[in-house]
């Protein structure tokens, strides 16, 4: 492997920022990755914690083997709501009893969007945007086909995202549901959650927020802003591991109004009654369908403890500092090589990642992976740098950007 090139001024600034970083010590709590120069994809899959290795190993002997099915009565049955309450308190600004961990993001999106559409009879439209993540769009297309609904598509500026005026222009008395991502998965634009929620409510519609690129990186206040519904994944900034279950938020006042479309035994009032007909459980528990993914919930507990210890305000401050560092470095070292910064320059409306664009980035990203630098590529020409605040150093980012510049120069 070729030695890692350096941009001396950038490396010096990174070293200074690392020395001043109040969260620097947290990096030591993450498991190492042999051969890694820079991990710049924390918004796709978070790095595992050392504590998680011990938790998973201990679970096999101390809980699974030791207690067997008795463990269902000793915590497993309550894990979806107990862990949901923790996510709500630490990351979402949500009081207890409104968040549940279950299923995948796609399944929970379907369940909550389908329930919301059914809760507004006589309204035949759903509002969504063409720049949203494919799952969101595909799920809504399926629901629209099932129920004979029309999707009113917003086509936002790809460098930004959905803005309040975009939503106001298409909602009406025909709108049942508005679905928006809080942080755009490409540009990292942070949508105006309070304003868009108000606009949807003024039209009599419900609003569902996708928090996949927000939770654990950008503070969210769901209760304070009257949000109806939210869904997010836990394998990005919550470091739950590949395939970790998602979470769903349903505001307390809506829980009895919405009908769960995937009626499974674990969401029933008495799962072990094995009765002839479905009767929903009280509260948020009714939105569970099948057996809780107990093993899949274990890793995120360690990361939630870490975020709780550091505090979301400090995590967000580090996230802003990291993305500012990338934007400034890109302007100085990458823009002269033909790179375009495709994320908002205002940190107040930029999430935890930065999108850079260059026609050669598909090939460059593949070569970077071979050299131990791991961003991700998003068609047609985007390199996305996802910077998980508690596991990422400024020096790591500087080393990665130096290799990006070197590969671009080699590409010509």
Which residues are identified as catalytic? Answer: 133, 210, 235-236, 384
Q: Which two tokens stand for residue 117?
A: 């559409």
Is the peptide bond between 350 and the residue preceding it cis, with omega within 30 degrees of 0? no
- Measured distance CA(369)–CA(41) in Å, rounded: 11
For residues 230 and 239, give the distance between their C-alpha atoms in angstroms, rounded to a whole number.
Answer: 19
3-state secondary structure of 100: strand
Measured in degrees and rounded to the nearest 5, phi and psi for residue 263 equal: -80, 100
Q: What angle do CA 276, 280, 284 make, to 5 degrees?
A: 155
61/93 Cα distance (integer angstroms): 35
Instruction: Give the number of C-alpha atoms closer than 13 A to the C-alpha of residue 52, restricted to the C-beta side.
Output: 24
From edge to edge, which strands make up the β-sheet containing 382-386? 340-341, 353-357, 382-386, 376-378
- CA-CA distance, 22 to 233, in Å (whole number)? 27
């Amino acid at each position: 492997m070729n030695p890692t090139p350096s941009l001396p001024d950038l490396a010096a600034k990174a070293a200074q920022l690392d020395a001043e970083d109040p969260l620097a010590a947290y990096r030591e709590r993450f498991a190492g990755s042999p051969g890694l120069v820079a991990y710049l994809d924390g918004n796709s899959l978070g790095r595992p914690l050392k504590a998680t290795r011990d938790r998973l190993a201990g679970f096999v002997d101390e809980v699974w083997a030791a207690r067997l099915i008795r463990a269902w009565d000793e915590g497993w049955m309550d894990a979806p709501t107990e862990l949901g309450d923790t996510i709500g308190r630490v990351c979402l600004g949500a009081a207890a009893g409104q968040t549940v961990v279950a299923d995948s993001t796609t399944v929970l999106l379907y369940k909550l969007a389908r329930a919301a559409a059914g809760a507004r009879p006589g309204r035949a439209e759903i509002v969504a945007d063409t720049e949203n993540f494919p799952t969101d769009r595909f799920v809504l297309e399926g629901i629209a086909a099932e129920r004979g609904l029309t999707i009113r598509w917003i086509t936002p500026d790809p460098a930004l995202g959905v803005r309040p005026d975009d939503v106001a222009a298409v909602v009406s008395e025909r709108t049942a549901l508005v679905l928006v991502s809080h942080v755009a998965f490409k540009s990292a634009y942070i949508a105006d959650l309070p304003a868009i929620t108000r606009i949807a409510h003024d039209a009599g519609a419900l609003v569902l927020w996708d928090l996949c690129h927000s939770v654990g990186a950008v503070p969210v206040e769901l209760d304070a802003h009257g949000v109806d519904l939210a869904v997010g994944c836990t394998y990005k900034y919550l470091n739950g591991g590949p395939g970790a279950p998602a979470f769903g938020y349903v505001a307390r006042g809506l829980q009895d109004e919405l009908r769960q479309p995937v009626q499974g035994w674990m969401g029933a009032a008495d799962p072990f009654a094995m009765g002839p007909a479905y009767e929903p459980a009280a509260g948020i528990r009714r939105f569970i369908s099948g057996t809780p993914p107990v093993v899949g919930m274990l890793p995120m507990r360690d990361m939630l403890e870490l975020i709780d210890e550091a505090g979301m305000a400090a995590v967000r401050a580090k996230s802003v500092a990291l993305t500012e560092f990338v934007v400034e470095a890109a302007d100085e070292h990458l823009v002269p090589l033909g790179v375009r910064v495709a994320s908002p320059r205002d940190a107040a409306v930029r999430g935890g990642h930065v999108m850079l664009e260059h026609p050669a980035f598909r090939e460059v990203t593949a070569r970077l992976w071979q050299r131990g630098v791991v961003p991700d590529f998003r068609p047609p020409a985007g390199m996305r740098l996802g910077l998980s605040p508690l596991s990422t150093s400024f020096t790591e980012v500087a080393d990665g950007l130096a290799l990006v510049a070197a590969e671009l120069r080699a590409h010509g």
